Amino acid sequence: MSPKSSEESVATRVVLLFNANKTYDRQIIQGIGEFIKDAQCDWDIYIEEDFSTRQFERDIAFANAIIADFDDGNIRECIADCNLPVVGVGSSYHHSSCYPGTPYVATDNEGIVACALEHLRSKGIKNFAFYGLPEEAGKPWAYERAWAFHSLMAQSGQPVRYYAGFLTHCSRWHEAQQELKAWLMTLPKGTGVIAVTDARARHLLQVCEHCNIFVPEVLSVIGIDNEELTRYLSKISLSSVVQGARTMGFEAARLLSLLLNGHNINSVPTVVPPCGVIERQSTNYRVVNDPVVINALHFIHTHALKGINVDNVLDNLGISRTNLEKRFLAETSMTIHKTIQEERMRKAQEMLTTTSLAINKISELCCYRTKEYFDALFTKETGMTPENYRRQYYMY
């Protein structure tokens, strides 16, 4: 093979400084890749082999251009005096002075919190709280989300119920859980709690499970990030706000392409709104006041996939069928049997849209006696087959 002539173009070495072990960073990188394919960029992309940023000082020296996580203070400081084309990606700020002087793409923290609040309000929830991060975490985006919550509560004239908690550390885990429990016990029944991340939302779900605080019947919980791993570490599936991370990555790559082609880019940040909420069990709230019905609903929500029937619900509560049916109809306008069937169908819809499980396996897990019966019932309930439903609503 003959060597390249000096007239042949050399690919631009673009270094990505992200911790791609996190869902948010991976989605940003995915968006960058989508732009590269769409625009047919002649870029030589470099990222650490283990998807970390431990060697970013060396990586900067290796680069012709950089797209970087500006939420990482060390990276941001290192790039400050860099003479290369740079696009930053990170948090939005309510003070414009906090933005860097370079082209910058931001997630919309206020929009994220507003999206979570809108979702909770759509469920009939009227009381709200926020579980954040303490100052020593050093996460500016967490403070911006907390600020947004305080601001939105002030605008609606509602009290601010806020708790920062402790940093996660094994030596303080029990203490942190006890303090979190104490805070949760102060919240009014029917409160919707917004967690600053899905990881913090998992803390809430764990404490609620250990302390017999029913989710979503007593407290509803919504996270931020749609972190896949969290879904497998909690018995209650978590509703979450999806950030526009792929759009952020695409826009960051577009801005870098303009820079590399000699365009002047102003330093006004591009703020990308969230994509919306993926609703799961943790916010499947309905306004119910009867404590017996609340207990029955929680039993149904947590045991629907164990083949339970009406008799199992009655045995758990120690109550007559006539009594419970009357109370169910008064509170939910549905029978106990219909509620069980509705919960199984809801779980089947969730599995179709958030997992790659085979449809016959979903049918089995949701306690339908045959796939054919499941197909017929699903089509009757939704107006489309399970296959078409997945095709239309699959989220990954």
> Would you give the DSSP letter of residue 10?
-
Q: 98: which residues sit within 8 A by CB, 6+ positions away?
A: 140
Domain span at residue 70? Answer: 12-107+245-275
For the chain, residues with pLDDT lower than 70 are 1-9, 49-59, 229-232, 395-396
Q: How far is CA 158 from the centre of its chain?
A: 25
DSSP β-ladder status, 270-272 and 86-91: unpaired
- For residues 317 and 299, give the distance between their C-alpha atoms in angstroms, rounded to a whole number: 9
Residues 206, 296 within the same domain: no
**CA 10/CA 194 separation, integer angstroms:** 48
The answer as to whether 126 is a domain residue is: yes
149 and 85 within one domain: no
Write down the pLDDT at residue 9.
Answer: 53
Per-residue pLDDT, 293: 93
Q: Does residue 380 form part of some domain?
A: yes
d(CA 279, CA 283) in angstroms, rounded, equals 7
Q: Give me 172's structure tokens.
A: 């303080």
266 to 119, 147, 153, 269, 391: CA distances (angstroms): 35, 27, 33, 8, 41
CATH number, domain containing residue 152: 3.40.50.2300
270 has which bridge partners? 105
The predicted structure's pLDDT at residue 2: 42
The CATH number of residue 313's host domain is 1.10.10.60
123, 207: one domain: yes
Residues 96 and 149 in one domain: no
**Euclidean distance between CA atoms 120 and 128, whole angstroms:** 8
Residues 126 and 239 in one domain: yes
One domain, residues 335 and 360: yes
- The first and second tokens of residue 393, run together, are 């609503």
Between the CA of residue 133 and those of 79, 214, 250, 378, what are the distances in Å? Answer: 27, 24, 29, 42
Q: Are 296 and 387 in a shared domain?
A: yes
- Whether residue 4 lies inside any domain: the answer is no
d(CA 137, CA 145) in angstroms, rounded, equals: 14
Residues 238, 116 within the same domain: yes
Q: Is residue 18 part of a domain?
A: yes
Domain presence at residue 138: yes
The residues pairing with 239 across neighbouring beta strands, listed in sequence order, are: 222
Q: Is the residue at 7 inside a domain?
A: no
**Does 131 lie in the same domain as 192?**
yes
Residue 3 belongs to some domain of the structure: no
Q: Are residues 212 and 317 in the same domain?
A: no
Strand bridging mode 127-131 / 104-107:
unpaired
Cα separation, 389 vs 362, in Å, equals: 13
- Let me know whether 297 and 379 are in one domain: yes
Domain match, 102 and 116 both: no
Q: Taking Cα atoms as reference points, which of 263, 268, 273, 203 lies closest to residue 233?
A: 203
> Is residue 262 in some structural domain?
yes
pTM assigned to the model: 0.84
391's CB contacts (< 8 A; 6+ apart) are none
How far, in Å, CA of 7 to CA of 4, rounded? 8
- Domains in the chain: how many in total? 3
